[in-house]
Amino acid sequence: MEKMKVLAEWTYTPAPIDKGYTRKTLYVHVGEPRMEIKDVSQDMIDTFTGGRGFDLKLLWAAVKDTTKWNDPENEIVLSGGPLCGITQYPGAGKCYAAFISPLSGQTYDSNSGGYWGPLSKFSGFDAVEIQGKAEKDIILFINGDEGKIQILESNLQDLNAYAVTEALHEYFAVDEADKRNISVVSAGKAAETSYYGCMNMSFYDPRRKVARLKQAGRGGGGSIMRDKKIAALVVKFSKMGGNLNNVVDLDTLQKVGVKLHKEIHDLDDVQCKMRKVGTAHLNEIMDEYHLLPTHNYKFGQNPAEISKIHSAVYERLFTQGMPDGCWYGCSMSCAKAVDGFTVQTGPCKGEKVTVDGPEYETVASLGSNIGVYDPLWTIEANFYADHYGLDTISLGTSLAFVCECYELGLINKEQTNGLDLKFGNKDDIMELIHRMAAGTDEFASIVAKGIRYMKKAFAEKYTADAKTMEAIGMEGQGVETSEYVPKESIAQWGGYYLTLKGPQHDEAWLIFMDMVNKQLPTFEDKAEALHYFPNFRTWFSLVGLCKLPWNDVEPANNRIVNEPKEAAKVPEHVQNYVDIFNAVTGKNIRKEDIITMSEKVYNFQRVFQVRMKQGDASHNIPLRALGPVFPDEWDARKDYYDGKLKEIGIDPAALSTEEKIKKLQEYRLGMWEGLKMAVYKRRGWNKKGIPTVETLKRLGIDYPEVVAVVEKYSKPEDMFE
């Protein structure tokens, strides 16, 4: 690759890290261009902790109330958090990105493994904030070794992720061994037309000798990257060490980490098998419980086909015996890969590649949800989604919606420009994905913008029935639902649709607690769970940790020494987090403080959504998420659903299936409203879902500009008694 032209360059002295913080953030305006290093105040640490908290704090100051996703002042802010980069505890390399999302028009935060988070901190920055738009494709390079920031004019021929990543690891490394000191963030060509473009974050795999990709997939961060004409972000830091965070108590950190390594060594094979199949161990479990999205969430099970996508099939496809952590020290090792995969279609046809994944979400989204039960096809779709810069979840859920619209006759073959988009028609579905990257096909460009956009466009352009699409389009707040059928769990309606940013599985997964173990019988129980779990899980995003080592392995005695409801919290692992947080930062938090730390950021982000939505940050839920919409959907589990009517005192015998569906919908819509109010109340919000001033004061986030938003949009009649 020829030497790239330097468009701008600044030097800096990397700040030393103390107790997990550099106390500096980097700001780069890629349009002007301009660079600034900002100080992190003690108040910023105390209130926002780090990671997503820092992202949102910086983003708040950067945008206006009216900022749209593609306005130059929108930012991509990336931050790890104080624990990010420790090597002693599994899952400590996470990086959190925040921005105003093209899908939802409000803030989104999305996280990724890979080395960007740790290496950018070791290079001197607790957060990296990128604003403005470049005129031509550029690469932002942070050289932590030399204390240099550069904006380079991209001369990359191929802007798709694997090509960009491979070329830049090669370009910036002095030799093969140096490649692991680099991390690249890239999107891809489809992110230029899509609203759900993903950000791929790399790490170099010295055994495979390839750059691997993890994704901050959700919310459209990759779309913003390409809108800003950023071809890639690159960081380089070569002086890797075992205590770069300069922690207070290395001894405790080592002991707690080794304890978890041993636990994973001893128990993973008999628990979740994360080391062998990653999250794809869930495929058949979800199918068994009617939770595996099938044909646009119409069904939750497909007994005739599930064996084709059983985790055992994926275990054979994934290369075994490799240390597949996406940061040093992750013995959970779930970043599985398919090596030597020969691509069958598209621009890479015939090439042998390493494909990262598929993870469970992708097995479902680019599999069962679109009626495809062919792992090799799913692997190829996964490859191209990453390469083109598309979020596999939004892509799959959008495609599922398209297939159902097509089968219902809401759109036709002429409108799809010749594609026969029935469920399972994999050749034409793959062609649609390629057309999204090509960017010249109007229909593909509409699909690439997500379900909320499609509902409007299909109605306006193709006169498709809006009411039907409203019922079956599985989006909330403009964001596509991730891959669990939520219909039968009231708590999970909240876990998906009463979230900060849309139906994503990173806040609460309560289906088993609610439905299978019956641990949340009342609205108050559900509301308590919808307070605790989202806040508990928010904490990972503040400190730079991955959620998986929390409960994808459990101590052998977890369910013996704890009551079932308490066991779901995995108390010993919660204590691990308290111990390692204190060991790194020198603070002295207790487990209760985890929730309070999170509540500060959770509520700040909620006010941020209210601000960006001019007071109307409402939570919507599609009818498909609440229960069956069509008769065949009801009839697939007729006895079960008839039983549900009987439970609420309605005799199904005298009713037609359409009438039964209507009755259940009416009942469940009432339950949804009841749940919503119970949750809002528990969270300290008003009836419109706006945090009260009292809540802001309790959490110490009553900054004048935050209070002003709350006061502007809150009405006395919306207060709870």
Partner 1 sequence: MRWLKTYVEKCINCGKCMETCSKTYFKEENPALSRVVVTNPGAGQNISVCNQCGACMAVCPTEALYRDKNGVVQLDKSKCTSCLMCVGFCPTGNMLYAASKQTEPFKCVACGLCARACPTQALVLVND
Which residues here bind partner 1, judged by CB under 8 A? 87-88, 180, 206-207, 240-243, 250-251, 253-254, 257-262, 264-265, 321, 323, 325, 328-329, 331
The DSSP letter of residue 235 is E
Q: How far is the CB of 520 from partner 1 (least distance, A)?
A: 35
Q: How far is the CB of 668 from partner 1 (least distance, A)?
A: 47
Residue 377: helix, strand or coil by DSSP?
A: helix
Residue 223: helix, strand or coil by DSSP?
A: helix
Residue 630: helix, strand or coil by DSSP?
A: coil
**CA distances (Å), origin 179, targets 173, 351, 650:** 5, 22, 65
Question: Measured between alpha carbons, how far is 432 from 421 in angstroms, rounded to an integer?
Answer: 9
Question: Measured between alpha carbons, how far is 715 from 310 in angstroms, rounded to an integer?
Answer: 52
Q: Which is nearer to partner 1, 259 or 638 (CB)?
A: 259
Q: Which is nearer to partner 1, 87 or 283 (CB)?
A: 87
3-state SS of the chain: helix, strand, coil percent to 5? Answer: 45, 15, 40
* Tokens at 276, concatenated: 């062998």
Q: How far is the CB of 91 from partner 1 (least distance, A)?
A: 12
Question: Measured between alpha carbons, how far is 250 from 242 in angstroms, rounded to an integer?
Answer: 10
The DSSP letter of residue 515 is I
Q: Which is nearer to partner 1, 180 or 452 (CB)?
A: 180
Q: Which is nearer to partner 1, 258 or 719 (CB)?
A: 258
DSSP H or E stretch at residue 204: strand 199-205
Residue (of 408, 421, 427, 318) closest to 363 by Cα position = 318
Q: Which is nearer to partner 1, 119 or 364 (CB)?
A: 119
Q: Which is nearer to partner 1, 180 or 189 (CB)?
A: 180
What dihedral do alpha carbons 286, 294, 471, 485 form, nearest 10°?
A: 0
Question: Measured between alpha carbons, how far is 510 from 493 in angstroms, rounded to an integer?
Answer: 9
Q: Which is nearer to partner 1, 180 or 449 (CB)?
A: 180
Q: How far is the CB of 262 from partner 1 (least distance, A)?
A: 4
Q: Which is nearer to partner 1, 130 or 337 (CB)?
A: 337
User: Tokens 């002086």 identify what position?
Assistant: 239
Residue 77: helix, strand or coil by DSSP?
A: strand
* Tokens at 369, concatenated: 């949800």
Q: How far is the CB of 205 from partner 1 (least distance, A)?
A: 9
* Tokens at 702, concatenated: 């009553």
Q: How far is the CB of 238 from partner 1 (least distance, A)?
A: 11
Q: Cα Rg for the chain, rounded, in angstroms?
A: 24
Q: Which is nearer to partner 1, 250 or 589 (CB)?
A: 250
Q: How far is the CB of 200 from partner 1 (least distance, A)?
A: 20
Q: Which is nearer to partner 1, 254 or 596 (CB)?
A: 254
Q: How far is the CB of 207 from partner 1 (least distance, A)?
A: 7
Q: How far is the CB of 333 from partner 1 (least distance, A)?
A: 8
Q: Which is nearer to partner 1, 24 or 180 (CB)?
A: 180
Q: Which is nearer to partner 1, 300 or 325 (CB)?
A: 325
Q: Which is nearer to partner 1, 242 or 418 (CB)?
A: 242
Q: How far is the CB of 553 from partner 1 (least distance, A)?
A: 12
Q: Residues 661-670: contacts with CB within 8 Å, 24+ apart?
A: 661/627, 661/628, 661/629, 661/630, 661/631, 661/634, 664/627, 664/628, 665/623, 665/626, 665/627, 668/626, 668/627, 669/626
Cis upstream peptide for 33 (omega within 30°): yes
The DSSP letter of residue 15 is P
Q: How far is the CB of 435 from partner 1 (least distance, A)?
A: 39
Q: How far is the CB of 164 from partner 1 (least distance, A)?
A: 24
DSSP H or E stretch at residue 312: helix 311-317
Q: Which is nearer to partner 1, 241 or 649 (CB)?
A: 241
Q: How far is the CB of 419 from partner 1 (least distance, A)?
A: 43
**CA distances (Å), origin 6, targets 36, 141, 153:** 18, 10, 6
Q: How far is the CB of 493 from partner 1 (least distance, A)?
A: 39
Question: Measured between alpha carbons, how far is 398 from 474 in angstroms, rounded to an integer?
Answer: 8
Q: How far is the CB of 568 from partner 1 (least distance, A)?
A: 25
CA 116 to chain centroid:
16
Q: How far is the CB of 544 from partner 1 (least distance, A)?
A: 15
Q: Which is nearer to partner 1, 214 or 487 (CB)?
A: 214
Question: Measured between alpha carbons, how far is 692 from 603 in angstroms, rounded to an integer?
Answer: 10
Question: Measured between alpha carbons, how far is 458 from 477 in angstroms, rounded to an integer?
Answer: 19
Which string of b and e fits 363-375 if b means at least 16 CB within 10 Å?
bbbbbbbbbbbeb
| Parallel, antiparallel or unpaired: strands 148-153 and 337-342 | unpaired
Q: How far is the CB of 240 from partner 1 (least distance, A)?
A: 6
Question: Measured between alpha carbons, how far is 90 from 325 in angstroms, rounded to an integer?
Answer: 8
Region class of 385: left (phi > 0), else alpha (psi between -120 and 50), else beta:
alpha
Q: Which is nearer to partner 1, 261 or 587 (CB)?
A: 261
At a CB cut-off of 8 Å and minimum separation 6, what does 284 contact? 306, 310, 311
Question: Measured between alpha carbons, how far is 714 from 331 in angstroms, rounded to an integer?
Answer: 48
Question: Measured between alpha carbons, how far is 587 from 579 in angstroms, rounded to an integer?
Answer: 10
**Burial (CB count within 10 angstroms: exposed 0-12, middle 13-18, buried 19+), residue 133:** middle
Q: How far is the CB of 396 from partner 1 (least distance, A)?
A: 30
* Tokens at 679, concatenated: 């949750």
User: Tokens 């904006």 identify what position?
Assistant: 151
Q: Which is nearer to partner 1, 324 or 404 (CB)?
A: 324
Question: Measured between alpha carbons, how far is 29 from 133 in angstroms, rounded to an integer?
Answer: 8
Q: Which is nearer to partner 1, 87 or 535 (CB)?
A: 87
